[in-house]
Structures are given as C-alpha cells and as structure tokens.
Amino acid sequence: MDKKKNPERKKSEMDKRGILMVSFGTSHLDTMAKTIEVLEKEVAEQYPENPVYRAFTSQMVLTKLKEQGLEFDNMEQALLRMKEDGIRELVVQPTHIIAGIEYEKMLEQLKMYRLEFSEIRVGRPLMDQAGDYKEAVEAVLAEERDTIGSKDTALLLMGHGTSHRATAVYPTLEYTFHLMGYSNVYVGTVEGYPELEDLEKRIREKPYKKVCLRPFLLVAGDHAKNDMAGEKESWKNYFEEKGYEVETKIRGLGECEGIRRMFYQHLKEATELE
C-alpha cells in the first residue's frame, strides 16, 4: 500500500499534508528520547510545513505508559486527530525494521481510513528492498568498525524475530555482511530464526575469544536490556557460560545516524510519489 486515493474526491491545491510516524513503541523513556523522539524531531525539521504526528501500535506499551501517567495515541486516535486538524494528504512513515506482522497490521488499519483522506502514502520499513541491506551494513560499520576489525571477536546483532515470512531479512542481512567481507558478524533473533543456539553453533567453529552483543532494534528497551544484556537467562549470560569474554552496548538503531538516514530516504520516496 504505497499510495491510496479517494476516487470520489478531486485533489485540491489547498489540501493540508501531515506526516504520521508509526512505531511499535516503548515504555522505556530513556531510549525513546534517543531514538523515536530524535527521528520525529529531525523529520519535523526536514518538513517544516507539514505537522508531524506520532502513533504507537502496541497496546501493551500504551498501557505501561499510561500507568506512568503518559498518554500517547494509537493508530486510530492519531488518524482521527489528524482528520480533526484538517489533514487531507496523509504520509505515513513506519519505524518498523521489517515488513512483518506489525507493518501489515498498520496497512490494514490505514485501509479503514482510505475515504477519510484525499491521499494516503506509506513509506517503506527499514529493510524492504535489496539495496537496504548494503545500506544497513554500512550504517552498522560506521558505528562498529573497530569491533568488526578484530579477528578474535565476533559481533552479534540481536533482532526481534517473527513467525512472519519477513524473518528472512535476518539471515539475508548476515549474508550481506559476509559478502562485503565481514565474516565475523552474525545476526540472530529473540523470537524467530536464527535463534541464539544457531549462532553459537557457528561461532564455536571459529577461534573467537570475545563476543560483542548489539541490538538490531529501533529502541534499546526490554529485549536489549534484559534478553541481550541481562545477568540472568540472557545472551550475555549464555556466552559467558560458554567461556567467552562478552561486551554489550545498549544502543537502539534509532541512535545510529546512518539508520535514521535510511528512514528519511524512505519517507522522501513516499512524499515524492507521482
């Protein structure tokens, strides 16, 4: 769903355009400030004439935020708010990493509002086309070149994972690292394939002494702090028990300038559709 028009309404030069940034969300305010808020702020700076709105799609996250006294819009609330504000041209940029279950849910919700706006345009998620893989590799390299350059060190990127077919993104990303000459980079997931055990089997075949763990997630929330870097039942704990020196860095992809540029480019593509 890249572009939807209401056939019953002619486009007007006076149509007001608004940008909706759609994220799964996080209840961790520290990482939200460094990732989602930075993305939204920089989008607003790039499109000063277009108001920027936010929607979180996770009800669990929204509930946790409400318990902290914070109110954020879900998709329906954000779309209604934009309609009430007179937005007629809607540009939606998801901050999803893959075109998986959450991305498809977002598209289904947008279909319900296709007659409420004169036009709806949707930007691509981070990893969607062939060229995205190389760009993502280069963005990671810019942050981790010293780590990747050490022959006795393996760099492990932890993605979320999914039962959706889009889980193929993760092994494809790893393959791209290897094609580009970085065979000590591995990509696994918390809730999909490849799993942690799959990574460990391949890593033990090499003479690595150290394992560096990084989240391949927009925000560094529960999965990064607990599943990856926690002291119990975490990736960190798992590799320490295997005898590796383990180093972790709690940093979401939204903190990486190269990754943010990819999202901005996808948004630009959506705004320039003819």
Catalytic residue among 160, 164, 178, 223: 160
Query: Is 160 designated active site?
Result: yes
Closest CA to 226 of 250, 244, 257: 250
User: Which are the catalytic amino acids?
Assistant: 160
